[in-house]
Chain A
Amino acid sequence: MEVNDALVDKLANLAKLKFDALEKEEIKSDLQKMIAFVEKLNELDTTGVKPLLHMTDEVNVLREDEVKGSISREAALKNAPLHDEQFFKVPKVIKK
């Protein structure tokens, strides 16, 4: 798989990140290496092997419909970079 500018731009857009030209070159080369690393797996013949979707064999791990486990608002907001007493705050996401 070829990592080109278009792919990096697309990923940057999906991840809502911005890079300058220098960073983009670096990312291109890093990404290329990562993909090459993973592509090694293609050397294995996996015909007839079902995809492994989950890392355990457990199924039906369900909970009852009970209200519990909420934390206080103060604790919820504590780690947010921007907040007031009630809300998490983020840059305006709508143009008016």
Chain B
Amino acid sequence: MSTKDLYEIVVGLEVHAQLLTKSKLFCGDSIAFGQEPNIQVSPITLGHPGTLPKMNRRAIECAVKMGLACHCEIERYNYFARKNYFYPDLPKGYQVSQHTTPICKSGFITIKSGNSAKLIRLNRIHLEEDAGKSVHDADIHNTCVDYNRAGTPLIEIVSEPDLRSAEEVYNYLTEIRKIVRYLGVCDGNMEEGSLRCDVNISVRRKGDEKLGTKVEVKNLNSIRNARRAVETEAERLIGLIEKGETIIQQTRSFDAGNGTTFAIRDKEDADDYRYFPEPDLTPFNLEEEFIERIRREIPQLHTERISKYVNEYKLSEYDAVILTEEKSFSDYFEDLVTFARDYKASANWMAGPVKSWLNDNGNEIENFPLKPERLSALIQLVNNNKVSFTVASTKLLNALLGDASKEPLQLATELNLLQESNASAIEPIIEQVISKYADKVKEYKKGKKGLLSLFVGEVMKLSKGKADPKLTNDLLTEKLNS
């Protein structure tokens, strides 16, 4: 047992998700990513005197939708607070945030932990605005500031300290990413910073009641980095305790380059944000009717689809998870089975040839040239033994992807790919193979039955994949045993 095993890791997460709105939280600037600096700014964003912010209705809807999907209580009476601090990327000198009345309270997210499911309790989900972006290396004397992002609507999803390993952190973030993407409240794009997280971590001896001193690792921009940060930080904290040193409450940053964390500030100069109610924004009240409308808009989530695929479609859990990884992929599958009806074959096609094509082409299912109806016709050909799966998933699929206007059967006929299920056409090939491998045939007859697959393979090859494998198998066995 290593020293590490004597300790328990305790983690709580703050996840910031950028909402899928067109405009900012309190004004009409676009929130498009990757634009020229300082073109998505208005006097409100820049915090000019005399300007008045006004709340974006869609942002409220997104936050409520996320809250309902996470089983939260929805706050009926909301108002915003100012969180005061000075930093150049914060033009007003305060961030507007739902400090006192988070729009969603409690709730939970179910994650995988080992082979079982685990509930991670949420403390709150609240609305707040993002800050601008500082660029430190463009000018040697100054910091350059771009306010395009300032005022972008975010929800902050705050968990209780229920996570117990780097793996659970990874699974929790993966789960959040799936939920926001299924709901359409955030694109989940971590490279563009649409989903970021801060990790609060402490360690304690197993069995200890009291929590250890916590350290916050800020601004992790990928799920993988969050897992790595938890691993390294836990190791560092355990090392300190083992050496008899005291852990200081700190804010740290993760260097993805070398996989270490470093201190940015000690919590001794404790933050004093002097929160107070934002007087410039009116409170907003949520009516029952509004909340119920949002509830009806919630689509079937991946978790419900997984249980449908497993229980009704009799697919493996593994297949179900692959199919539901992305909502659009799962939507395609849902369409496909309305035509194909063969769940298992449809799942195999999706997880196999379709997914490979997407991977090879770095493309999304939205751009897959074959519509579900056409793909189902292809699956039908295989199920009816007209074309072998191998030929269908390679030659015929490629041909169809090149010319999506043609019916699979028509194309298979034109390309001479229809399977030979006529014994008289296969028998001559079998004769050919048997005479070519006379000595192997002897070995087979002496009992080396495993050679059968070699003969079948040869027949398939000579028939250019067109021989019906089952028929070939039967004919060969008959011939060899006669």
- Name A's B-contacting residues (CB within 8 A): 10, 13-16, 53-56, 58-73, 76-77, 82, 84, 86-94, 96
Contacts and interface: CB of A to CB of B under 8 A. Distances in A.
20 contacts: A10-B272, A14-B86, A14-B274, A15-B86, A16-B86, A53-B79, A54-B279, A56-B282, A58-B282, A61-B284, A62-B56, A65-B23, A67-B22, A69-B29, A70-B39, A70-B41, A73-B36, A90-B143, A90-B145, A91-B143
Contacts of A56: 282
A15 B147 CA distance: 21
B283 A54 contact: yes
Interface stretch (B2-10, B115-123, B134-142, B294-302): B134-142
A89 B283 CA distance: 35
Interface string B399-425: 000000000000000000000000000
B136 A60 contact: no
Nearest to B272: A14
B58 A86 contact: no
A63 B57 contact: yes
A66 B136 contact: no
Contacts of A94: 134, 136, 143
A52 B39 CA distance: 38
A68 B28 contact: yes
Contacts of B21: 65
A14 B273 CA distance: 9
B348 interface: no
A55 to B, nearest CB: 6
A87 B135 contact: yes
B28 A89 contact: no
- Of B37, B85, B281, the most chain A CB neighbours within 10 A belong to B37
Contacts of A53: 79, 277, 279, 283
B42 A60 contact: no
B23 A88 contact: no
B57 to A, nearest CB: 4
Interface of B: 21-23, 27-30, 36-44, 46, 54-60, 79, 84-88, 134-136, 138-139, 141-147, 269, 272, 274, 277, 279, 281-285
Contacts of B43: 71
Given A59-B283, A68-B28, 15 more contacts: A10-B272, A65-B56, A65-B57, A69-B27, A69-B28, A69-B44, A71-B41, A76-B38, A86-B36, A86-B144, A89-B142, A90-B142, A90-B143, A92-B141, A94-B136
A86 B38 CA distance: 7
Contacts of A76: 38, 41, 46, 147
A60 B286 CA distance: 9
Contacts of A64: 57-58
- Of B88, B144, B272, the most chain A CB neighbours within 10 A belong to B144
Nearest to A68: B28
Nearest to B19: A65
A71 B58 CA distance: 23
Nearest to B137: A96
A1 B145 CA distance: 39
User: Which 10 pairs from chain A and chain B are nearest by CB?
Assistant: A87-B144, A65-B58, A69-B28, A68-B28, A89-B142, A53-B277, A90-B88, A88-B145, A62-B57, A61-B282
Contacts of A82: 142
A20 to B, nearest CB: 21
B39 to A, nearest CB: 5
A44 B408 CA distance: 85
A82 to B, nearest CB: 7
Nearest to B54: A63
A62 to B, nearest CB: 4
Contacts of A71: 41-43
A68 to B, nearest CB: 4
A37 to B, nearest CB: 19
A96 B136 CA distance: 9
B88 A93 contact: yes
Given A66-B23, A88-B145, A94-B143, A54 B79 contact: yes
A60 B142 CA distance: 41
A69 B147 CA distance: 15
A67 B87 contact: no
A88 to B, nearest CB: 4
A77 B38 contact: yes
Contacts of B85: 14
Nearest to A51: B277
A62 B60 contact: yes
Contact of A92 (B40, B143, B281, B284): B143
A80 to B, nearest CB: 9
A93 B87 contact: yes
A89 B144 contact: yes
Contacts of B143: 89-94
B79 A70 contact: no
B41 A67 contact: no
Given A65-B23, A65-B58, A90-B142, A60 B28 contact: no
A88 B147 contact: yes
A14 B283 CA distance: 28
Contacts of B135: 87
A88 B56 contact: no
Given A58-B282, A59-B285, A76-B41, A91 B57 contact: no
Contacts of B23: 65-68
